[in-house]
Structure 1
Amino acid sequence: MSISGITNTALSGMMAQTTRVGAIASNVANISTSGYSRLNTSLTSVETRSVQATVKQTDQPVDPATELTDLIEAEKSYKANAAVFETGADMWEMLTSIKRD
């Protein structure tokens, strides 16, 4: 896999986690809204070596403990993808500086 492929995969992971956090925020904002059903985010791997987030409404009620757990997991996943992205960017920068010399 190329460096640009690695950074693109990490970027898609960060975007997927951003979508997930948006669904969690909607769930928390509507926790006391009658008739509101929980939004659930599914993450799937795509053939282009990326991650796709799909948000679907469920028939489950909103549970604050579940939302907090999901938020912590999304934060950790986002940070891991950001670290991979930064490492790829550093490698790219090093290669371009070697090429210039």
Structure 2
Amino acid sequence: MSISGITNTATLGMLAQQKRVANIASNVANVDTPGYRRLNTNLNATTPAGVSVTTTVSETPKAAPDTSNVDLLDEMTGLIGSEHAFAANAKVFETGADMWDMLMSIKKD
């Protein structure tokens, strides 16, 4: 894989986590909204490298008709997972940028 491919994959990963956090924020904001149905974030690997993101509405039954089906524990767990995934992608992007810098300094010499 090329350096630009590495940074592109990391960028797609960070954008995917951004969408996941946005869905989690919507779920948390609507936890007490009657009839609200939780948003799920689906991440799928793409070829040759990357990720695609889709959002679906949860079909999980509600505890009661006048409540939402959002579980705050699940949302906070997902938020922690997103934080770690975003940080990992950011580190990969940073490493790719450092590789570009090194390549440019070698090319100048």
TM-score, normalized by the shorter chain, greater than 0.5: yes
1:98 aligned residue? 106
Superposed counterparts of 1:5-44, under 5 Å:
5-44=5-44
Return the offset for 1:13.
Answer: 0.2
User: TM-score, structure 2 length as denominator?
Assistant: 0.91
For residues 15-41 of structure 1, the C-alpha deviation after alignment (integer angstroms, 9 at most, x for no partner) is 000000000000000000000000000
Hey, what does 1:64 align to over in structure 2? 72
* Residue 9 of structure 1, CA deviation: 0.3
Question: Cα distance, 1:47 vs. partner?
Answer: 1.1
Paired positions, count: 101
Gaps of 5+ in 1: none
Q: Superposition RMSD on alpha carbons, in Å?
A: 0.7
Q: Deviations over 1:36-64 (max 9, x none)?
A: 00000010011141111111111231000
TM normalised by structure 1 equals 0.98
Q: Which runs of 5+ in 2 are unaligned?
A: 61-68
User: What is the distance in 1 between the residues matched to 2:36 and 2:59?
Assistant: 9
Match of 1:80 among 84, 88, 96: 88
User: Following the alignment from structure 2 to structure 1, what is the Cα–Cα distance between the partners of residues 91 and 53?
Assistant: 20
Q: Does 1:4 align with 2:4?
A: yes
**Matched residue of 1:11: which SS?**
helix
Task: Write the letter of the residue equivalent to 1:76.
Answer: H
More helix by share: 1
Structure with higher Rg: it is 2
